[in-house]
């Protein structure tokens, strides 16, 4: 479903501030794969998602989604294939539009938008049904402006907006990091539910190793722009947080040695 | 007074255009000052040369839309900042407007001793200018356009345009070509401004190359006053408020002069002060809360900034780790504090 070949991204190339955020990253997700992504700050996780979504252009390599080469496609034209939820609960919704209007924009993601009504009776019924899945009572607040919702509610809504249209690929970038633990838990549970229900292919960045091991069927660890560890479902089940920490420290050591030598 | 209301209703078309850019797109578009004249000048020169006044008015609208297209292209294709892109168009159009009119002004009262046929000629001949009948006709036009705009904003495309101004990051992630929504909305906006200019030129009986100078302030003041009166909670009321605001603005102006509180030349200053006060209120949470409390409409009466994180019912939850992702920063508001270049020699709009 998703295939990355030799994807690189360097910020400020050729200057003193040069940052190689992605180095020859290769990654393949089969349909229905749910991979968690971990790595220290600055490892390139967000850059990876931004490159896949098209909000950043790659310097080299190719990106395929559902068999289509999207490497050169601008972000808004990839939206028909993928949907994303950002870390910032404010980022995924339009605060001055109502819940149903936000849902309408999500529903028409990647389609041509004409002069038909944004929210008609049929759509409203569908939105109500979808919102009920969240169990937050939002289905009774269709005409509430999203800016009036709490961070947790907004993030749950963003998640629903990203998923109910069944995109080929769902990208989640630390989407629970800005929430308090209880709400983070709720949104994580919702994430697992919607991904399972709609059998989505998903890539979820998290800073919580336990969560990364618990959720999804694959795990990817990044460090300094490289994927340094990939676990399949079986391996994942047998791995503990301590194992991950060990792996991380040893790889870090190796990489430090390598850079000393070179 | 009817005359003031008539003017208010004609300038309401301009204010509706300003509403679309300033409130919906969150785009500080100063093209207005010249696209008004482009619309007025185009219609005037066509009418002067014998064209059908309604077709000429439509041409004025189209000319305004073209001006909006230029600003849109400068901003989206050449990545020029909104304010600067619109100032460039505005300044360049001054020369274009002179070319269109073939001189600094075009008279529309008499030609070869015959009255020129404008859309107002029937009213003039029936001695119905500055009458309630004329007010009624103009009000019907303004209300019809209000209905069209409210409808437009609720369409799929209209929602996309709203999202473009409200949260561009979300809009792009939702597959919206924000370049396209901006260009189209700028064209509609300046089309309305051009239409306003075309009608106003016929109303006052001439087009003048300076007729649009400072009108961005009039438009902003109308939007801000109108939204303060009718609120922004419901889109229909917000748009209607713009028309109301434009009429209120003209009436205030009329009575200020009538009661000799202010001279006609003071209005620019008063408009600018009014806009500054409204902007300060809309940017200060405390003042906004205070204004909302004393207002009869309670919630959301005072226009709030388009990106208002403080709208959230709960405080930010938990720590938000800093993330250097470019996609993260909240959409910036255009700086609108810089007023359009004022020309002290110009009387208040003719
Ligand atoms: N827009 C940007 N401009 C410059 N440098 C950036 C930008 N985005 C990310 N970086 C840099 O790229 C590296 C990877 O960042 P990021 O992908 O955000 O890491 P992560 O999400 O894993 O914490 C960091 O060194 C960061 O400073
Ligand atoms: Mg990150």
Q: Count the neighbouring beta carbons within 10 Å of the beta carbon of residue B88.
A: 18
In whole angstroms, what is the distance from residue A153 CA to residue A160 CA?
11
Q: Count the neighbouring beta carbons within 10 Å of the beta carbon of residue A192.
A: 15
Atom of ligand 1 nearest to the CA of A174: 21
Q: Are B309 and B330 in contact (CB under 8 A)?
A: yes
Query: Please, which residues bridge with residue A22 across strands?
Result: A9
Ligand 1 contact via A262 beta carbon (within 6 Å): no
Distance from CA of A179 to the nearest CA of B (A): 5
- pLDDT one-digit tens code per residue, A115-164: 999 999 999 999 999 999 898 999 999 999 999 999 999 999 999 999 99
What does the pLDDT read at residue B350? 32
Compute the distance from residue A124 Cα to the ligand 1 centre, in Å: 39
A118: chain B residues, CB-CB within 8 Å: 154-156, 158-159
Is A119 near chain B, with CB under 8 Å?
A: yes
Ligand 1 contact via A19 beta carbon (within 6 Å): yes
What does the pLDDT read at residue B299? 40
Ligand 1 contact via A46 beta carbon (within 6 Å): yes
Report the greatest alpha carbon distance in chain B: 77
Please give the share of chain A, as a percent, with pLDDT higher than 70. 97
Q: Are B108 and B118 in contact (CB under 8 A)?
A: yes
Query: Please, which residues bridge with residue A3 across strands?
Result: A28, A64
Cβ contact, residue pair B321, A177, below 8 Å = yes
Q: Are B21 and B242 in contact (CB under 8 A)?
A: no
Q: Chain B: residue nearest A161 by CA? A: B174
A115: chain B residues, CB-CB within 8 Å: 152, 155-157
Reference B203, options B99, B116, B94, B103; nearest CA is B116
What does the pLDDT read at residue B59? 98
The pair phi, psi for residue B11, each rounded to 5°, is -70, -15
- pLDDT one-digit tens code per residue, B99-131: 999 999 999 988 888 889 999 999 989 998 889
Q: Are A161 and A103 in contact (CB under 8 A)?
A: yes
Q: Count the neighbouring beta carbons within 10 Å of the beta carbon of residue A199.
A: 10
Q: Is it the case that residue B342 has pLDDT exceeding 50?
A: no
Radius of gyration of chain A (CA): 19
B314: chain A residues, CB-CB within 8 Å: 150-151
B330: chain A residues, CB-CB within 8 Å: 90
Band the pLDDT of B292: cuts 50, 70, 90. Answer: low
Ligand 1 contact via A11 beta carbon (within 6 Å): yes
Band the pLDDT of B203: cuts 50, 70, 90. Answer: very high
Q: Are B231 and B5 in contact (CB under 8 A)?
A: no
Cβ contact, residue pair A88, B328, below 8 Å = yes
Cβ contact, residue pair B169, A183, below 8 Å = no
Complete DSSP assignment for A75-106: HHHHTTTEEEE-SSTTTTS-TTSBHHHHHHHH
A79: chain B residues, CB-CB within 8 Å: 172-176
User: What letter does residue A117 receive in the DSSP assignment?
Assistant: B
* Whole-structure pTM value: 0.86
Q: Is it the case that residue B333 has pLDDT exceeding 50?
A: no
- Residues 24-53 on A with a CB inside 8 Å of B are 41-42, 46-47, 50, 53
Q: Which ligand is nearest to the CA of A45?
A: 1
Query: Is A3 in a helix, a strand, or coil?
Result: strand
- Low-confidence stretches of chain A (pLDDT < 70) are 256-262
In whole angstroms, what is the distance from residue A48 CA to residue A42 CA?
11
Nearest CA to ligand 1 atom 26: A42
In whole angstroms, what is the distance from residue A170 CA to residue B298 CA?
40
In whole angstroms, what is the distance from residue A98 CA to residue A147 CA?
8
SS (H, E, C) chain B: CHHHHHHHHHHHHHHHHHHHHHHHHCCCCCCHHHHHHHHHHHHHHHHHCCCCHHHHHHHHHHHHHHHHHHHHHHHHCCCCCHHHHHHHHHHHHHHHHHHHHCCCEEECCEECCEECCCCCHHHHHCCCCCCHHHHHHHHHHHHHHHHHHHHHHHEHHHHHHHHHHHCHHHHHHCCCCHHHHHHHHHHHHHHHHHHHHHHHHHHHCEEECCCCCCHHHHHHHHHHHHHHHHCCCCHHHHHHHHHHHHHHHHHHHHHHHHCCCCCHHHHHHHHHHHHHHHHHHHHCHHHHHHHHHHCCCCCCCCCCCCCCHHHCCCCCCCCCCCCCCCCCCCCCCCCCCCCCCCCCCCCCCC
Cβ contact, residue pair B163, A174, below 8 Å = no
B175: chain A residues, CB-CB within 8 Å: 76-77, 79-80, 108-111
Q: How large is the average pLDDT for residues B77-91?
A: 96
Compute the distance from residue B323 Cα to the ligand 1 centre, in Å: 8
What does the pLDDT read at residue B285? 59
B132 CB-near residues (< 8 Å, 6+ apart)? B2
Ligand 1 contact via A41 beta carbon (within 6 Å): yes
Is A99 near chain B, with CB under 8 Å?
A: no
Query: Is A245 in a helix, a strand, or coil?
Result: helix
Ligand 1 contact via A20 beta carbon (within 6 Å): no
What does the pLDDT read at residue A116? 95
Measured over the CA atoms of residue A59, residue A65, residue A67 and residue A69, the dihedral's sign is: negative
In whole angstroms, what is the distance from residue B134 CA to residue B127 CA?
10
Atom of ligand 1 nearest to the CA of A22: 14
Band the pLDDT of B267: cuts 50, 70, 90. Answer: confident
Ligand 2 ion: nearby residues, β-carbon < 5 Å: A 46; B 323
ipTM attached to this prediction: 0.91
Of B169, B175, B317, the CB nearest to A109: B175
- B113-145 in b/e burial notation, b at 16+ Cβ within 10 A? eeebbbbbeebbeeeeebeeebbebbbebbeeb
The structure tokens 């149903």 sit at A100
Per mean pLDDT, which range of B70-84, B206-220, B291-305 is the poorest? B291-305
Compute the distance from residue A220 Cα to the ligand 1 centre, in Å: 18
* Residue-averaged pLDDT of chain B: 84
Query: Taking an 8 Å Cβ-Cβ cutoff, which residues of chain B contact chain A?
Result: 152, 154-160, 162-163, 166-167, 169-178, 306-309, 311-314, 316-321, 323-328, 330
Ligand 1 contact via B321 beta carbon (within 6 Å): no
Return the structure tokens found at B265: 């030349």
Reference B149, options B164, B139, B161; nearest CA is B161
Query: Please, which residues bridge with residue A68 across strands?
Result: A65
Q: How large is the average pLDDT for residues B19-34?
A: 96
């Amino acid at each position: 479903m998703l295939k990355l070949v030799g994807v690189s991204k360097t910020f400020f190339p050729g200057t003193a501030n040069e940052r190689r955020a992605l180095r020859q990253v290769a990654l393949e997700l089969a349909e229905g794969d749910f991979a968690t992504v971990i790595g220290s700050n600055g490892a390139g996780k967000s850059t990876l998602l931004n490159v896949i979504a098209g909000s950043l252009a790659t310097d080299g390599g190719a990106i395929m989604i559902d068999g289509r080469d999207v490497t050169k496609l601008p972000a808004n034209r990839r939206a028909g294939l993928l949907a994303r939820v950002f870390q910032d609960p404010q980022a995924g919704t339009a605060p001055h539009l109502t819940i149903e209007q936000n849902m309408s924009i999500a529903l028409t993601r990647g389609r041509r938008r004409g002069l038909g009504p944004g929210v008609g009776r049929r759509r409203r019924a569908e939105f109500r049904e979808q919102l009920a899945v969240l169990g937050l009572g939002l289905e009774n607040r269709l005409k509430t402006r999203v800016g009036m919702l709490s961070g947790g509610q907004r993030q749950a809504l963003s998640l629903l907006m990203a998923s109910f249209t069944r995109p080929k690929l769902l990208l989640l970038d630390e989407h629970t990091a800005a929430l308090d633990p209880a709400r983070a838990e709720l949104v994580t549970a919702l994430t697992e539910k919607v991904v399972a229900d709609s059998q989505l292919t998903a890539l979820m960045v998290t800073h919580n190793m336990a969560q990364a091991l618990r959720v999804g069927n694959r795990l990817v660890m990044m460090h300094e722009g490289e994927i340094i560890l990939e676990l399949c479902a079986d391996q994942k089940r047998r791995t503990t947080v301590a194992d991950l920490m060990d792996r991380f420290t040893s790889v870090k050591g190796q990489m430090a040695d390598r850079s000393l030598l070179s | 007074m009817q005359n003031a209301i008539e003017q208010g209703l004609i300038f309401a078309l301009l204010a509706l255009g300003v509403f679309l850019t300033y409130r919906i797109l969150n785009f500080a578009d100063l093209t207005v000052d010249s696209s008004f004249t482009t619309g007025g000048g185009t219609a005037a020169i066509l009418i002067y040369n014998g064209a059908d006044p309604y077709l000429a008015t439509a041409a004025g609208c189209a000319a305004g839309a073209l001006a909006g297209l230029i600003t849109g292209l400068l901003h989206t294709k050449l990545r020029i900042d909104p304010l600067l892109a619109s100032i460039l168009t505005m300044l360049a159009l001054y020369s274009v407007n002179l070319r269109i009119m073939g001189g600094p002004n075009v008279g529309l009262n008499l030609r070869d001793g015959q009255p020129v046929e404008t859309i107002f000629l029937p009213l003039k001949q029936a001695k119905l200018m500055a009458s309630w009948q004329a007010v009624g006709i103009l009000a019907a036009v303004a209300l019809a356009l209000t209905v069209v705009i409210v409808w437009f904003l609720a369409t799929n495309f209209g929602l996309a345009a709203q999202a473009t101004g409200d949260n561009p990051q979300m809009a792009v992630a939702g597959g919206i070509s924000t370049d396209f929504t901006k260009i189209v909305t700028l064209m509609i906006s300046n089309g309305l401004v051009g239409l306003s200019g075309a009608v106003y030129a016929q109303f006052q009986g001439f087009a003048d190359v300076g007729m649009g100078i400072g009108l961005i302030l009039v438009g902003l003041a109308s939007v801000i006053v109108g939204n303060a009166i009718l609120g922004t909670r419901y889109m229909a009321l917000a748009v209607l408020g713009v028309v109301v605001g434009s009429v209120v603005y003209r009436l205030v102006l009329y009575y200020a002069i009538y009661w000799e509180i202010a001279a006609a030349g003071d209005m620019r200053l008063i408009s600018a002060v009014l806009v500054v006060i409204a902007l300060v209120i809309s940017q200060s949470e405390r003042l906004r809360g205070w204004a909302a409390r004393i207002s009869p409409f309670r919630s959301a009466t005072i226009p709030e900034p388009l990106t208002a994180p403080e709208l959230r019912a709960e405080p930010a939850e938990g720590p938000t780790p800093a993330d250097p992702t470019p996609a993260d920063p909240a959409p910036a508001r255009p700086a609108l504090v810089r007023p359009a270049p004022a020309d002290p020699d110009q009387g208040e709009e003719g």
